[in-house]
Structure 1
Amino acid sequence: MNQVNCLIVDDEPIARDIIKTYCGHLDYLNVVASCGNALEAKAVLQKQKIDILFLDINMPIMDGISFVKTLKDQPQIIFTTAYKEFAVDAFDLAACDYLLKPFSFDRFIIAVDKALEKFEPKTNVQTNEVSGSAAEDFIFIKTDGKIYKIEYDDLLYAEAQGNYTKIITTGNLLLPKMPFSNFEELLPKALFLRTHRSFIINKSKIGHIEGNRIFINNNEIPIGSNYKDQLLKDLGFS
């Protein structure tokens, strides 16, 4: 993977250090600069191409929301804030993700993966990881130096796991290094439904639904609030 240039903007030094440390664990992230306010950040953006902008909202001089509105060529923006009430405004600006402080490293990875999916070309997936065609009832997944054939009827559900996708079948658990969105594209939409930003399920394997949970065998899969209406519609409850 090519180096991804990142810019951190937060008026709290500790918050900047945490994000910088998180970035340091992912060798493809290159922290170009770490700024304490929007004006410093604007100067960096004028000189250097930035791919991902980690941006606090509640800052002196100019808040993060106002700052984004001044940008013509926006990088992928991941808001980092202690205030959840700004979420609607953030997503109105097409923010890639919204991290509520304090956030864990695994939640940070999920946000970064979302950003990478926006500008990573989704080519060569068939040749690198998977072979098969839409007319068939199976796919092949390569992981751990082996190639596994997965019948659609054996696939229970899949879960996003950072740079990986956890695949649960009737008799196996696979963890290929593949973005979750790429794996989802390989599955027929008529059979597999998105229930949450991190989960996709085999519709035919649903045991029952209770509240915001789907039960498949002994597994509980969450239903995200943004996905519930579409899920019920897909199941015939419009």
Structure 2
Amino acid sequence: MNLQCIIVDDEPGARKLLEEYIEDIDFLQLVGKAENPLKANALLNSQRVDLMFMDVDMPKMSGIEFLRSLPAVPPTILTTAYTEYAIEGYELDVLDYLVKPISFERFLKACNKAREYCAAPASADHFFVKCDGRIEKVLYDELIFVEAMLNYVVLHTETRKLIVHLTIKGIDGQLPAKHFLKIHKSTIININKVKSIEANEINLGKTRVVISQNLQEAVIKEIIRDRMLKR
């Protein structure tokens, strides 16, 4: 399995080194380079990206800020000259954190880790939550959307509502990113349940939910991906 990867770094020398490393690893395929997050965003929206090598310290927007802005973060390896961003990086579930200057040995180790992550079998079709003194089984396919409510979240399924003592951030990190998308600071939707999109609202059948204004463009692109029929 080849991993399609991109490099995001404002330093030409750093991009060149990573490109040379990638050329020496048979399961990596470089499909794009960007010197800033804006151009990286265009790459993410135009093709499949299995792995992103992301610098942290860049003008206008840092790599950490860029990752936080994405509705769905692709598997990412951070590359930086600064060690103090490690905790923030791992809070965003990055696969690895490489400190410059990066040796080929350390780079290869991170890439092998990425390959194992991407080759892992799909997770189970369900999860469990504690609700009203019971342990409830919830099928991913039945979950329509998740709504934040103070220190709780409401799981809206096709047949019931479950109020669970979790945070929206906590559950967002545990739902499969392939099918679930955070569209607002208080809302996560099941992409497969989307019936239509009108302005800043998503129709989920019996319910309509609002897209955050600053996420609207990215959310719509993530939902549509490359499935829009054109003339």
- Residue of structure 2 in register with 1:31 after alignment: 30
Provide the secondary structure at the position in 1 that maps to 2:84: helix
Q: Which amino acid in the other structure matches residue 83 of structure 1?
A: Y
User: Of the two structures, which has the highest relative contact order with CA contacts closer than 8 Å and spacing of 6 or more?
Assistant: 2
> Corresponding residue for 1:117?
116
The within-5 A match list for 1:190-205 is none
2:77 counterpart residue number: 78
Q: Deviations over 1:86-126 (max 9, x none)?
A: 11111110110000000110100111111111121369xxx
Distance 1:71 1:112 in 2: 22
RMSD after superposition: 1.3
Which of structures 1 and 2 has the bigger CA Rg?
1
Q: Which residue of 2 aligns with 1:107?
A: 106
Whole-angstrom distance in 2 between the partners of 1:51 and 1:74:
10
1:64 maps to which residue? Answer: 63
Provide the aligned length of Structure 1 versus Structure 2: 122
Secondary structure of residue in 2 paired with 1:85: coil
What is the identity percentage for the equivalent residue pairs of Structure 1 and Structure 2? Answer: 42
**How far apart are the structure 1 equivalents of 2:60 and 2:120?**
37
TM-score (norm 1): 0.50
Match of 2:4, SS state, is strand
Shift of 1:72: 2.0
Q: How does 1:1-238 map to 2 (within 5 A)?
A: 2-121=1-120
Measured after TM superposition, the shift of residue 60 of structure 1 is 0.7
Scaled by the length of structure 2, the TM-score of the pair is 0.51
CA distance in 2, matches of 1:25, 1:111: 14
Q: What is the distance in 2 between the residues matched to 1:31 and 1:109? A: 15
Equivalent residue letter for 2:108: I
Q: Which runs of 4+ in 1 moved over 2 A?
A: none
Q: Which amino acid aligns with 2:19?
A: K
Alpha-carbon distance in structure 2 between the residues aligned to 1:48 and 1:74: 14
Aligned partners of 1:31 and 1:119: how far apart in 2? 16
Cα distance in 2, alignment partners of residues 22 and 67 from structure 1: 24
Q: Distance in 2 between matches of 1:3 and 1:112?
A: 11
Letter in 1 for 2:76: I
Q: Aligned letter for 2:98?
A: L
Show CA shifts across 1:154-181 (max 9, x none): xxxxxxxxxxxxxxxxxxxxxxxxxxxx
SS of the aligned residue for 1:23 comes to helix
Matched residues in 1 for 2:116 and 2:80: separation? Answer: 22
**70-79 vs 40-49, which moves further:** 70-79
SS in 2 for 1:6: strand
The whole-number CA distance in structure 2 between the counterparts of 1:120 and 1:113 is 10
SS at the partner of 2:71? coil
- SS of 1:61's equivalent in the other structure is coil
Question: In 2, distance between residues paired with 1:86 and 1:26?
Answer: 27
